[in-house]
Structure 1
Amino acid sequence: MKNRVANRGVIYAHMNVVDQYVLSYGIEFHEFYHAFSDLPNLLLLRHQFDDGNFNLHTLLEYVDSESMPKLSEDDVYEYGDFCWVDFEDEEALNRLDGQEIAELLYLSHLKTHLRLPFYRKLNNRFVYLSHDDGWFNKTYYRSFDDFYKTLGVSISSKLNEKGEKTFFGLKKKKEIPSIPIEILYPFIEDMKEGMIISIERAIHTRASVEIPIWIIGDYYDMDEMYEEYEGLYNRPLDGKIVFDRKVKEWKAFVK
């Protein structure tokens, strides 16, 4: 069952507010990059990217703003583990001490932290830890508003990628914008419990697009999460996100 095709139709998100991370399924790196294309540099902790720069102090590779678009287009799903932390400039890497480098390596190896992984020297906003990118992602956010932005971009990206076809079989022009972060605020408590957003079961009409939402609980094993999702057909919705085509606005409905 593990494949990137499934990732395109379903998003699972479980927020851990205390430790400032989100476990997710379905959110892919190219969508993350689209949300934050202004990121200056990424320190690559685990990867198979062939065009990175090498930092002699950490003995790790990094990607600068020039190489970032190429990385975003690479097939990072095939890397297996893909882990990185953002940073402002290379001098920041050269100021890291042995303990901080060890903590970063621990993060990428065990996908958990020894202490909250936001470093003054790096001034990082994120730590991105994935296995089979889009299948299992654990992402630390300095601000959860950045997560809501990521989620809004990912949902609209999947809708537009799927597209709707005209009578002649041609895809209609992309027209669905990213979801504003304030539209997702009503679902914060649901995401703390573990929430499914099903783009593949969205109802498309001339007037709107309605995306169903269910609360399914806390999952670390994404195989188990997906099995639970597949049994949700007859369960009442816990909410929905609706795009009104006429006014071109998103709306949230919570049970």
Structure 2
Amino acid sequence: MKNPGNMKELIYIHLHPINQYVISYGIEFQEFMRSLPEVPPHLLLLKHKFEGSDFNMHTRFDYIEAGDFPHLLKEDVGEYGDFCWIDFEDTDGLNEMEGWEVAEILYLAHSKEHLRTPFYSKLNNRYAYLSHDDEWFNKTYYRHIPDFYSMLGTLIALKLGLFRSERSFFALKKGSAFPPIPPEMVARLSGGMKEGVAISLSKAEQSRFKVEVPMWVVGDHISMDDVFDDYMASFRKQPDAQLVFDKKTHEWSIFS
């Protein structure tokens, strides 16, 4: 594992739209949850070490309700090793799951591969979140890919704001924050994301009027070490695209 301190400043995205999942590095569970367009009502915990969960006798899985999310969000789930969950709407639907569906979900959590697309009408789930050493390797399935674009646009603004406060670099007016990047704008980057991109906050540049966040196409990787190697070889070159925040209008734009 190389240079883990850069994880907070580097986001890797590899989009697989046909199978409706995204491989990512540099996005942790807490940030993901705070960036979703809607908070899920329940999480079915497939692999975890959280001690505050309830137990569902029918599926033999632990689960938590939305009211317990703040406790889970305080956990360092990256220390769990595997951390996997599926959201679900209500326990009535959970109790109607058939054996083959439970078997599919068990396989999904064990192998982090789907037998069939992991969306179940009885659960009405929008996500399947599969991570190992959370933030280091995350594979997330999205029932609706626009939810991914919305999450990423919110997350980049969130991380940029945190990065700004830590480094006192991206100065905005007191009390102001970066607004989310509109999902339709993020969608315009999907071509590069299908190849695998690195978005760097540490290489963002600021002038009096704008902040420019660069993005490079770095390819398909399953190891963050390889992502970092390709990123280090790329960042001295012209970015493949830039997310640009106008300080005067408080609006985002994309240049590619």
TM-score, normalised to structure 2's length?
A: 0.93
Q: Tell me by how many angstroms 1:172 deviates.
A: 5.6
Deviations 1:160-204 (A, max 9, x none): 11125669xxx9645212211112122111111111111111012
Aligned length: 251
Correspondences of 1:208-223 after superposition (within 5 Å): 208-223=210-225
1:28 aligns with 2:39: no
> Which ranges of structure 2 fall in alignment gaps of 5 or more residues?
none
SS class of match (1:12):
strand
2:139 counterpart residue number: 138
Tell me, yes or no, if the aligned pair for 1:25 and 1:135 is still in contact at 8 Å: yes
> Which ranges of structure 1 fall in alignment gaps of 5 or more residues?
none
2:205 counterpart residue number: 203
2:70 counterpart residue number: 69
- The separation in 2 between residues aligned to 1:105 and 1:175, in whole angstroms, is 41
Tell me, yes or no, if the aligned pair for 2:12 and 2:199 is still in contact at 8 Å: yes
1:150 aligns with 2:172: no
2:192 counterpart residue number: 190
The one of 174, 177, 193 equivalent to 1:175 is: 177
Q: 1:121 to 1:41 in 2, by over 3 A?
A: same
- The separation in 1 between residues aligned to 2:5 and 2:52, in whole angstroms, is 27
- The separation in 2 between residues aligned to 1:233 and 1:34, in whole angstroms, is 29
Letter in 1 for 2:185: I
Correspondences of 1:82-161 after superposition (within 5 Å): 82-161=83-162
Q: Tell me by how many angstroms 1:2 deviates.
A: 5.4
Deviations 1:27-74 (A, max 9, x none): 111111112352100000011111111111111110101101221222
**Higher deviation after alignment, 67-76 or 8-17:** 67-76
- The separation in 1 between residues aligned to 2:77 and 2:60, in whole angstroms, is 21
- The separation in 2 between residues aligned to 1:85 and 1:211, in whole angstroms, is 32
Q: 1:173 to 1:45 in 2, by over 3 A?
A: same
Tell me, yes or no, if the aligned pair for 1:84 and 1:129 is still in contact at 8 Å: yes
Tell me, yes or no, if the aligned pair for 1:2 and 1:135 is still in contact at 8 Å: no
Q: 1:102 to 1:144 in 2, by over 3 A?
A: same
Q: 1:160 to 1:115 in 2, by over 3 A?
A: same
2:14 counterpart residue number: 14
Letter in 2 for 1:120: S
- The separation in 1 between residues aligned to 2:73 and 2:3, in whole angstroms, is 19
- The separation in 2 between residues aligned to 1:166 and 1:97, in whole angstroms, is 53
Deviations 1:69-100 (A, max 9, x none): 22122211111111000000111111111111
Q: 1:162 to 1:172 in 2, by over 3 A?
A: farther
- The separation in 1 between residues aligned to 2:12 and 2:70, in whole angstroms, is 26
TM-score, normalised to structure 1's length?
A: 0.93
Q: Tell me by how many angstroms 1:140 deviates.
A: 0.3
Letter in 2 for 1:238: D
SS class of match (1:209):
strand
